[in-house]
Each structure stands twice: as structure tokens, then as C-alpha cells.
Chains A and B, each alone.
Chain A
Amino acid sequence: MISADAIRGYVDLMVLSLLRTGPSYAYELAQRITAVTGADYAIKQTTLYSAVKRLEAGELVSSYAGVSPSGKPRTYYRITAAGASHLNLKIAEWRSTKSVVDRFIEGVES
């Protein structure tokens, strides 16, 4: 189980990467994150909500009002062009972060 603190900086990246495949709403995003992470990490609703709102404030995602199949009003989010390029930057940054940290971990483990 990953602690909420350890993963906090990467929730934005997770949300953006999910939105790249198409618009979605908060609960579906939470479901998809849970489906991927399984028992390793349980995202809290407030964590997800604040990530989405933060991204929206940074104009990396935009929102529009939609309606659920059962007729309930629902806010949908979609990734913007700025969001897509930000995601690419973040992915590159994550790769190099991971490789740097891995070099230390491997030294410890071997």
C-alpha cells in the first residue's frame, strides 16, 4: 500500500494520462485509477477532486456540463492541448526521475 504522501505529486499525471483517451468525469476517473492500482493504492475522492480542480485552474483540462445516462447532471473533464504537452513533459520528467532514483536503489540492493 503506497502512502498518500508518496504518490501525491503523481495524481495529476495519472489523471492527465487517463484523460488522454477521452473525456471523463470524476467518479469514472477514480474507478479507472482503482482498476489500475488495485490494492496498491486507494485514491480518496478529495484527492482526486483537488487534482482535477488544480489541473482545471492551470488550464490543463477543461470542464463542461454533461448528463449521466440516468439523467443526472455531471461535470465532464477533457484534456487541453496545453495539458497534452504538459503530460509529455511530465512523462519525460518521471522517466528521468525514476532512472535517477533507480540507480541508488540498485546500489543498495546489490
Chain B
Amino acid sequence: MNVVIAYLDTMFGAYPQTPRLLEAKAELRGMMEDAYTSLIAEGRSENEAVGQVIRDFGNLEELAPVLGITADLAPAGAATGADRANPAAARIQHPPVTMEEAQGYADVQRRCRFRLGTAVSLFVLSPVALIILPTAVQTGAIGLDQGVASALGILLLLVLVAVGVMLVMSISRDAAPFKRLEEGRFSPDPAVTRWAESLAQQHEPARVRALQIAVAFWILSPAPLIALSLLTQGAHLSGLWSVIGVGLVLGFVATGLAILLPAAWANGVAEKLGRGAAGAGRGSHHGDEQRSVVGVIAAFYWPLLTAIYLAWSFIGDAWGSSWIVWPVGAVLFGAIAAGGGALESYRRSRQ
């Protein structure tokens, strides 16, 4: 209900607080409270009830003749002083996002959350066989030809990447009706923004918990590698153990991502819907900075790291030492993710 009251305050905030206006606000608030209470009594969730009440509100311009307020006194929606001073900017404004679109978009993000987590995890895990198999052959642990081992490793890498890409494609197919939201070709709507924020707030505890677990996984990820390297030093097959440690690093990183990404969907929706078209005034200045740091890293960091690892190993023929990329990369990732998460929470708390 707080979201509804905040929404009403926002809508009326642009007008001078005359007695007639305050009376209208009080009566509309009463109507919204009644509607909210009866929706909750019908067994709807808090989220659905808030969305429905805000959708049924209508618009204040309709009240203008009754309340004696004029439309030019109230910049509609996201229009700001800057937009009025610059008519060209106002003209290219995209149509505002509707509540139906927002709810559909949130629904798709919720349905796709495990697919996204799985896809990113697969990308991270894809080089594991390529890392382990050639060393296993070299040390004589597996009776395979060196070339066959490499080929198998590359084949498995391609298969995992292909499955991951297929998952990503199925996500974009499901999200296709909401392409303009994905691309930011909309102007934010205060009602939708508030609804999305309340959605994110509701899922925030789960997201923070997932982030904590994931960061713990990332920070701990080099531990098996270090332990295996130290414990098996000089022992039979010590090279193989180190490489298995590298595989475990990737496994830990992938597990962290698989835990975090499915829990972060509501947060992503709120960030996306609150932002709107770049440069559409209010809300855009903190938009890009606020993009989930972890999401960006997951998308670019690990494929990049894999590329660095493979390039260094193949070109420099440094299979013996290039594994150092993984523990260093993992610790760095854990640190960045933890820092980014803290920064985001801090920003959120200040808003």
C-alpha cells in the first residue's frame, strides 16, 4: 500500500496543494485503499494488488476541469524542465511503457531466470575438458593420443557453448515482444517504475542472500587449486592434480553464477524499467552506472578470460603455467562483484 500512496503523492506533487486538490487526493486515496484491501482479500499477492490499483487509477488530466487545474501546470509523466527547454528532445521521446508491458516483461524475466543462469554457467565450464584432458594424457593418466584428447576437449567446449547459445536464443525469443523495453526505447512511467521497484524490493532479500553465497564461492574458488597444488607437490601426477584444481575453480565460479543470476531477475527488471530511453531526462543519469556490475562482468569477463587462457596456452605453448589465469581471475571477480554489490546497495539506500 505504501507504493500506492507514494504513487499518488508523485502524481499530485506537480500541482499546487489547494483545498480542492487535497480533498480529491484524500478521496482517491480512500478509493485506492478500498480497492487494494478487497484485492488482497480476494487472495491476490501484494504485487498484483498494487499493479492493479495503479492500472485502474486513470490519469490526473481527466480531473483538470473538475479541480480547476490546467494541463500546462503539470508536465505529464517524465517530461522535465530540460525537455521543455529543448523541444527537439521532447519530440523524439518514445511512448511510455505500459503496466501490461511491464508485467509481461517481468514475467518473461522470471520464467527465463534459470535458463540464463545455466547458459552463463555453461560458458564458464566449457573449457574444462580442454584444460584437463591434454594434461591427463601428458602425465599418462589416460591412455589417449594427445591429438585425440585435444580434439575431445575442443568438441566438448563447442558443445557446451552451443547449448549455452541455444538457451540464450530461447530467452531472446521469449523476450521478443518486449524488445523495445530491452533496448530502452520507451520513456519511464512513474507508476510502472514504482511497481517495478516494489517488485525488486520484495525479491531483494533473496538476491542479497544469493549474492553473498555466490561471492563466497568466487572467493573460495582458488582454494581447491592451491590446496591440490601444495599437497601433491612432487607427488605422482602432481601436474594433473593442479589442472583438476583449475577445473574446480571454474566449477566454483559457475556454481556462484548459477546461484546469483536466477535470483537477480527482479532487480534487473526494476533497473531496466526505471531507466527508459537514454537521455530521456530524469532517471537516466544513474541508469548506466547502476547496471548490475555482476551481470556485465558475467557476460564479458569470463569469455574474455577463457580467450586469454586459450591464446596464451596455444600461442605461448604455456599449458604448464597459464592456469594461473583462473585463480587470479576468480579472486579478482569475487572482489569486483562484492565491491559492485556493496556499491549498488549503497546507492539504493540513498535513493
Instruction: Give chain A's interface residues, CB within 8 Å of chain B.
Output: 26-27, 30-31, 42-50, 53-54, 57, 72-75
Query: Which residue from B31, B59, B60 sits with its C-beta under 8 Å from A26?
Result: B31
Query: Which residue from B24, B31, B67 sits with its C-beta under 8 Å from A27?
Result: B31
Q: Which 10 residue pairs are nearest across A and B when measured between Cβ atoms? A: A44-B58, A46-B58, A27-B34, A53-B66, A27-B31, A46-B62, A50-B66, A26-B31, A50-B63, A45-B31
CA separation between A82 and B247, bound complex, in Å? 85
CA separation between A26 and B35, bound complex, in Å? 11
Query: Which residue from A42, A50, A53, A73 sits with its C-beta under 8 Å from B56?
Result: A42
Chain A's nearest CB lies how many Å from the CB of B119?
38
Tell which of A27, A30, A46, A75 has the most Cβ of chain B within 10 Å.
Answer: A46
CA separation between A20 and B342, bound complex, in Å? 60
Contact B66 A26 (CB under 8 A): no
Query: Which residue from B31, B60, B63 sits with its C-beta under 8 Å from A30?
Result: B31
Overall SS of chain A's interface: helix
Contact B56 A49 (CB under 8 A): no
Cβ of B101 < 8 Å from any Cβ of A?
Answer: no
CA separation between A106 and B42, bound complex, in Å? 42
Cβ of B57 < 8 Å from any Cβ of A?
Answer: yes
CA separation between A26 and B31, bound complex, in Å? 7
Contact with A along B209-224 (1 / 0, CB 8 A): 0000000000000000
Cβ of B28 < 8 Å from any Cβ of A?
Answer: yes
Chain B's nearest CB lies how many Å from the CB of A48?
8
Instruction: Give chain B's interface residues, CB within 8 Å of chain A.
Output: 24, 27-28, 30-35, 38, 56-60, 62-63, 65-67
Q: Which residues of A contact B66 (CB under 8 A)?
A: 49-50, 53-54, 57
Chain B residue with Cβ nearest A54 = B66
Chain B's nearest CB lies how many Å from the CB of A61?
13
Chain A's nearest CB lies how many Å from the CB of B77?
15
Contact B28 A46 (CB under 8 A): yes
14 example contacts (A-B, Cβ-Cβ < 8 A) are as follows A27-B34, A30-B35, A30-B56, A43-B56, A44-B57, A44-B58, A46-B57, A46-B58, A46-B60, A49-B27, A49-B28, A53-B67, A72-B30, A75-B30
Contact B57 A27 (CB under 8 A): no
Chain A's nearest CB lies how many Å from the CB of B49?
14
Apart from A30-B31, A45-B31, A72-B30, list 12 A-B contacts with CB within 8 A.
A30-B56, A44-B62, A45-B35, A45-B56, A47-B62, A49-B63, A49-B66, A50-B63, A50-B66, A57-B66, A72-B33, A75-B27
Q: Which residues of B contact A57 (CB under 8 A)?
A: 66
CA separation between A34 and B12, bound complex, in Å? 26
Contact A26 B30 (CB under 8 A): yes
Q: Which residues of A contact B28 (CB under 8 A)?
A: 45-46, 49
CA separation between A52 and B241, bound complex, in Å? 79
Contact B58 A27 (CB under 8 A): no
Chain B's nearest CB lies how many Å from the CB of A62?
15
Contact B27 A26 (CB under 8 A): yes
CA separation between A26 and B30, bound complex, in Å? 9
Q: Which residues of B contact A43 (CB under 8 A)?
A: 56
CA separation between A48 and B28, bound complex, in Å? 10
CA separation between A108 and B189, bound complex, in Å? 42
Contact B63 A46 (CB under 8 A): yes
Q: Which residues of B contact A75 (CB under 8 A)?
A: 27, 30
Contact A50 B65 (CB under 8 A): yes
CA separation between A48 and B66, bound complex, in Å? 12
Chain B's nearest CB lies how many Å from the CB of A87?
20
Contact A46 B59 (CB under 8 A): yes
Chain B residue with Cβ nearest A42 = B56
Contact B65 A49 (CB under 8 A): no
Chain B residue with Cβ nearest A8 = B62
CA separation between A48 and B27, bound complex, in Å? 12
